Structure 1
Amino acid sequence: MQLSIKHQTNYRYTAPLAYTIQQLRLTPRLESHQRVLSWHMHTSGHRHGYTDAYGNLCHTLTINGVHKEVAIVVQGLVETTRPHLGRLMDAETLPPLVFTVATRLTEPSPTIREFVAKALPDASSFHTRELLALAEQICAAVAYRSGSTIVTTSADDALQLGSGVCQDHAHLFIACCHARGIPARYVSGYIDPGNTEHAASHAWVDVWVCEKLFAGWVSIDVTHARLMSDAYCRLAVGRDYDAAAPVRGVRHGGGNEMLSVQVQIAAVSNGHSLV
């Protein structure tokens, strides 16, 4: 499949800024199941590219001098293939145990441990079928509701609230895995939403499975309780949202901030985007 992607982020401010620095993870990862055919990034200021500890392709954006707006636009075409059984076959530079370390957003609280004791009763189970069943139970416990949480909402907060978005589903799944000692990591990226209600900017998880003929990462979309397919484009992985967010930064000045984000994803037919 080929995905046509356009992602626009605009920050506007009520007062002038003297300085902005943003960390951008807005370039698709170099992985065997996705190939970038074209990709362009447009910003003001200065960009410095680098690869972080998780293998994500990143840029540091700095803007000096008086400004009242920050605009970031990425656009391109990515060719994707469906991983067999959701399995990721790329060589890894980090051991999976790196992704058993909990963060503030993925700490398995007593409430989460009680939940996972029922949702994943076999503490030694690392099989895809049980982990997909865990995703189904998370969706049942935390209803998808746009705007019900914010980026600082933890897995425990979302579970107790009973609603959230894809980011919360991913954090809760990771927290449940931590409670069982199963490596799991957060994935940020895009999905061709088709006819679903979910946004084109998406979050899901990779989880380490140990099965008879395979030991490695399997990618699961918790929000849809299904394996990752060729409808997905991966931008970054990390322990949680904070480590894999597409855009994060700080500023000096600016007053109140107004954020606008537009993401358009569509499959491409005969070389023409359906967006």
Structure 2
Amino acid sequence: MKLMINHQTHYHYSDPVHSSIQYIRMSPSNSVHQKVHYWDVSVPGQRQIKKDAFANIWITSAQRFSYQHMSIMAQGTIEIEPDTQAMPMDHMHPTIFLQPTLATQCSKEMLEFAHRYVKHPSRQCLIHLAGAILDYMPYLPATTSVNTSAAQAFAHRQGVCQDHSHVFIAMCKALGLPARYVSGYLYVPNSSHLASHAWAEVFLNQAWYSFDISNQIFTPASHIYVAVGRDYWDVAPVRGVRQQGGIENMHSIVQVLAC
């Protein structure tokens, strides 16, 4: 299945920004699941392209001039394999994804919750856990932020795909199962305006299995991988620092279309 993606991120500042540096992870890579036919990230300023510790494509862009508006645009065409059941083990040892992070710490209540559904480390038990998490904390936009931790989202009993992924990952790590955060895109037929997406993967039986808690999808049949990491902060599409600028306003548009 061939898909066309157009991802626009627009920034506006109340005062002029005098200089800035952006760290951008918006470039998918080739894998057994997907083939990148074409991809381009348009961003003003000087750039460097390399790979980070997780083998994600990482663009560093420096703006040495004043501005109040800036747009970052990523677009391209990718062909995915809808029959993918799991991703093979890559260059990173899975135990890296047992490391604790501030975003994926597991509270006592979360671990007790996980034990109710995961009696032994199997994919089916984890699917039951994923369903229970969505029932316990329904998808509700604009109730959390990128700074919300797994424990906070679980206590609030609501969240978005980032929160569902963090909670699931935190529980899996506490159960001794390597789990990682995936950023990317989800193709939904007959819908042209979609937010970028996040889901989790767990290492079982020498492979990485997908757990899209927000949509209750457990294979990457409609998913495009962009970056993987321990949590959102390892894969954030855009992070940066700036000199002045006042108040920042940002909005993004994402289209995923069959072609």
Does residue 105 (structure 1) correspond to residue 103 (structure 2)? The answer is yes
1:7–1:73 CA contact under 8 A, matched in 2: yes
- Cα distance in 1 for residues equivalent to 2:150 and 2:9: 26
- 1:63-116 Cα distance to aligned partner (Å, 9 max, x none): 0121112210011110000244x3112x51111000001111100111211211
Does residue 50 (structure 1) correspond to residue 50 (structure 2)? The answer is yes
TM-score (norm 1): 0.90
Counting only pairs closer than 5 Å after superposition, residues 1-275 of structure 1 correspond to structure 2 as: 1-84=1-84, 86-89=85-88, 91-120=89-118, 122=119, 125-194=120-189, 199-210=194-205, 215-268=206-259
- 1:107-133 Cα distance to aligned partner (Å, 9 max, x none): 01112112112132x2xx332111111
Shift of 1:30: 2.5
- Cα distance in 2 for residues equivalent to 1:155 and 1:51: 27
2:104–2:169 CA contact under 8 A, matched in 1: yes
- Cα distance in 2 for residues equivalent to 1:230 and 1:112: 29
1:200–1:265 CA contact under 8 A, matched in 2: no
Q: Structure 1: which 4+ aligned runs deviate by more than 6 Å?
A: none
Shift of 1:261: 0.5
- 1:215-259 Cα distance to aligned partner (Å, 9 max, x none): 221122111222233311110000000001111111110001110
- Cα distance in 1 for residues equivalent to 2:91 and 2:31: 13
Q: Which amino acid aligns with 2:239?
A: R
- Cα distance in 1 for residues equivalent to 2:106 and 2:45: 40
- Cα distance in 1 for residues equivalent to 2:192 and 2:4: 19
Q: Which amino acid aligns with 2:48?
A: H
Shift of 1:196: 7.7
- Cα distance in 2 for residues equivalent to 1:40 and 1:102: 34
Gapped runs of 5+ residues in structure 2?
none
Gapped runs of 5+ residues in structure 1?
269-275
- 1:11-60 Cα distance to aligned partner (Å, 9 max, x none): 11010111111111111022111001111211110111001110101101
2:179–2:200 CA contact under 8 A, matched in 1: yes
- 1:130-174 Cα distance to aligned partner (Å, 9 max, x none): 111111011011110011110000111111111100000000000
- 1:179-211 Cα distance to aligned partner (Å, 9 max, x none): 10100000000011336899441000110113x
- Cα distance in 2 for residues equivalent to 1:238 and 1:113: 22
1:20–1:62 CA contact under 8 A, matched in 2: yes
Paired residue total: 259
TM-score (norm 2): 0.95
Q: Could you say if the C-alpha distance between residues 113 and 196 of structure 1 is closer, same or farther in structure 2, counting changes exceeding 3 Å? A: farther
